[in-house]
Amino acid sequence: MASPHNGPAFIPNLNENENIFPEKDGVGQKFDWRFNMAGVDLRGKGEVTEYIPPTKVVIASHGDADSTWTYALEEADGGTKVSVEIDYELAETALQRIANKAIISKIAQKTTEQMLDNLKIILES
């Protein structure tokens, strides 16, 4: 699920993760990413910093946006509860291109909600 290979399938506006190395998921796996926010193309590099299957994955990224994505999975009511926490800070140059911080926050929230909806559809299919 939280593998860099799978991200573009369920994360809205994540155009690509490429140059993923090594191929096997785990701590130290690195990749280049490209994400579109409010029509602005953002780029950077990501790395899996914590990998505890099947309960937790943490991915840190740096570039036009510095972020930490923490995915947690736990059993709940006969199924699996997935939660995600995303801490991010856009680089000043990216902010200048997007301009409105309030809009960025709303877009980020909607993107996270859509990501979880997409993930649910994929996992329940």
* Mean pLDDT on 5-24: 95
In a domain, 41, yes or no: yes
**Is 76 within the bounds of a domain?**
yes
Give the domain extent around 87: 7-124
Single pTM value for the model: 0.87
Structural domain count, the chain: 1
Residue 49 predicted with pLDDT over 70: yes
22: which residues sit within 8 A by CB, 6+ positions away? 28, 29
Whether residue 2 is contained in a domain is answered as no
CB pairs under 8 A, 24+ apart, for 52-57?
Answer: 57/1, 57/2, 57/3
Q: Which has more confidence, 122 or 90? A: 122
Q: Per-residue pLDDT tens for 18-27?
A: 999 999 999 9
**1 part of a folded domain:** no
Q: Give how far Cα 48 sits from Cα of 26, 83, 115, Å.
A: 6, 17, 19
Section 29-51 average pLDDT:
93
Q: Summarize pLDDT for 67-84 with one digit per residue, the tens.
A: 999 999 999 998 889 999
Q: Is residue 90 part of a domain?
A: yes
